[in-house]
Structure 1
Amino acid sequence: MAKVKIIVDSTCDLTEDIMEKYDIAIVPLYVEFDEESYRDGVDIVPEQLFQKVKEKGILPKSAAPSPFDFSMCFQKYLDQGYDIIVITISTKMSSTYQNALVAASEFPQNRIWIIDSGNITTGISSLVTVAGEAAIGGRPAEEIAKTIKALVPKVRVNFVIDTLEYLYKGGRCNAVENFFGSLLRIKPIIGVQNGSLYVADKVRGDKKRALDKMIAKVIKNKENIAFDRIFINNSCGNDDEAEYVKTKLQQELPGVEIVMTKAGCVISTHCGEKTLGISYIQK
């Protein structure tokens, strides 16, 4: 039976420890400032991205890895005797999944399985850790892929953004929503449903109220948290908020592993600084 290699794109926001533990390979997306193109997490990190935003006064655009990018990665690991599982950002948010399918079509069948996570950031990470554990345990790629596909609709992701500005400039909310959201100090709680972002709730007032509401939602559902694992993901500038959320969850959910991760450049491009999210898989 062939060894199994897990490949993800850079929107998964995995920690270095998890990548090393499960020997995961990453194919980066791109962030582009006009004619300048950078590989997410390779040529540019979030701190540099936000500095460029301030200097240039514009937001970058994101772009999917090309089929050629995936082909190069696939060839490397097929040559080493691996079967491959690829878990990508939602196909409704990026062409990454489609480009991976195009690349996989160049290779023999039943060697590469492409999975649309239907999610972003640590919603993807939640699936990747399960796949990684199964691969280490010696399960075949086809079986792992079937398991992960069954878990996709069970992933729960919510995050609080600090400002609507990035979503507005990125075309994910309109000018009226941005204006009144800022005027009324509304902090939206964003969720992922059927592969797309949506406003799960709106909290008026300071951000702590929104964070507390998001925490309460997780605690209320504590009996349904699978694998005893929760991910907390935050972008630049709010490590104190991430620690606050971690402490609250640890107090209420003893025995549940809390994994802290940082948002990469593509997620930061669309959500901005001081974004914080929680994700887990539901039973």
Structure 2
Amino acid sequence: MQERKVILSADSTCDLGDELKARYDVNFYPFHILLEEQDYQDNVDITTKEIFAAYYDRKVLPRTSAINMGEYVEYFSPWVEAGFDVIHLNLGGAISSAHKNCLLAAKELGGHVYPIDSRSLSTGIALQVIEAGELIRAGKSAPEIAECLREIIPCCHASFILDTLDFMRAGGRCSSVVAFGANLLNLKPCIEVDNSDGSMHVGKKYRGSLEKVLPLYVRDKLAQYPDIKRDHLFITYSTIDPGLEKLVRKTIRETMEFKEIHATHASCTIASHCGPNTLGILFETETPAK
């Protein structure tokens, strides 16, 4: 029996960037951004700059909404009916209902959709998308790809430096006292994603300007693991001064050599929770030998 061809897809929160999206023929499904009674599609008809302007100009913070089961069914159905299998990577199940909804849609469609809980966010998901794209090119079937992805998920590392806790405070994710103290002391916390379950926690707290903090953060993260995979590294940010992106890229190159360093913008879903001037580096470690 001939293998079914595989479609590669992901939630819009993977922040892959246009060049890699085209390289691996990736399809995106956008999350919902609810702002001032309007329902927008993430990175389709609203931008991070508009979200930040709404908060600073009018003190309005958007709500984000995951893709529901019915939307996923409608999205996947044409491919399934045309005889394709679909690999779809979701925003981590610990922070969104998207994966649960995607599983329900896959069941409805009879098993030709393979939802993957990335246990990550942003370009932590993009690293997995690239791996899936390479496996499709190698002629692997959807079940084989899904199995391989579940093995590499614990090797994808995501973290970010926050410049301000204002958006976390406004969204109820930290108290006003904590936010005030961090701003007063000029603290820049590192938010880390736990790739065992996709939850997030506060790691090291840096102190000082971003010009001082970002190189320290980069060197700390690249020194944390002995077996970093050198194929791809992402610099992902909500908004950032171009000079700071250049500084981060320079620090990476001085510390470790990668085949490709990609700079991408965080989706509105991600940026609305972390605020402006958030930046992270995201990379993989080698998969342990069996």
Aligned to 1:254: 257
Distance 1:224 1:210 in 2: 24
Report the 3-state secondary structure (helix = DSSP H, G, I; strand = E; otherwise coil) of the residue aligned with 1:268.
helix
Distance 1:16 1:122 in 2: 13
Which blocks of at least 5 consecutive residues in structure 1 are unaligned? none
Task: Give the alignment of 1:147-166 within 5 angstroms.
Answer: 147-166=148-167
Distance 2:134 2:285 in 1: 17
Q: Find the partner of 1:3 among 2, 5, 21.
A: 5
Distance 1:72 1:56 in 2: 36
The 8 Å contact of residues 189 and 210 in structure 1, kept in 2 or not, is answered as no
| 1:255 CA drift (Å) | 4.2
Read off the aligned partner of 2:106 and give its amino acid letter: A
| 1:221 CA drift (Å) | 4.4
| 1:239 CA drift (Å) | 2.8
Distance 1:54 1:204 in 2: 24
Q: 1:169 to 1:41 in 2, by over 3 A?
A: same
CA offset digits 1:190-248 (Å, max 9, x no partner): 10113111111101222233212221123324641125211110112433212211121
CA offset digits 1:18-60 (Å, max 9, x no partner): 1111111111101112421101011212222223333432110
TM-score (norm 1): 0.95
| 1:252 CA drift (Å) | 2.5
Aligned to 2:267: 264
CA offset digits 1:65-99 (Å, max 9, x no partner): 11121111111211332111111111111111111
Distance 2:260 2:221 in 1: 14
Aligned to 1:137: 138
Distance 2:204 2:226 in 1: 22
Q: Find the partner of 2:70 among 68, 71, 85.
A: 68
Read off the aligned partner of 1:65 and give its amino acid letter: I
Q: Find the partner of 2:229 among 201, 205, 226.
A: 226
Q: Find the partner of 2:82 among 62, 73, 80.
A: 80
Task: Give the alignment of 1:28-43 within 5 angstroms.
Answer: 28-43=30-45
Distance 2:38 2:169 in 1: 22
Aligned to 1:242: 245
Aligned to 1:173: 174
Read off the aligned partner of 2:163 and give its amino acid letter: D
After the TM superposition, list the runs of 4 or more consecutive aligned residues in structure 1 that deviate by more than 4 angstroms.
Answer: none
Matched, 1:214 2:217: yes
Identity %: 32
Distance 2:116 2:225 in 1: 27
Read off the aligned partner of 1:37 and give its amino acid letter: D
The 8 Å contact of residues 43 and 268 in structure 2, kept in 1 or not, is answered as yes
Q: 1:223 to 1:256 in 2, by over 3 A?
A: farther
Read off the aligned partner of 1:145 and give its amino acid letter: A
Aligned to 1:47: 49
Aligned to 1:192: 193
Which blocks of at least 5 consecutive residues in structure 2 are unaligned? none
Q: CA RMSD in A?
A: 1.5
Read off the aligned partner of 2:7 and give its amino acid letter: K
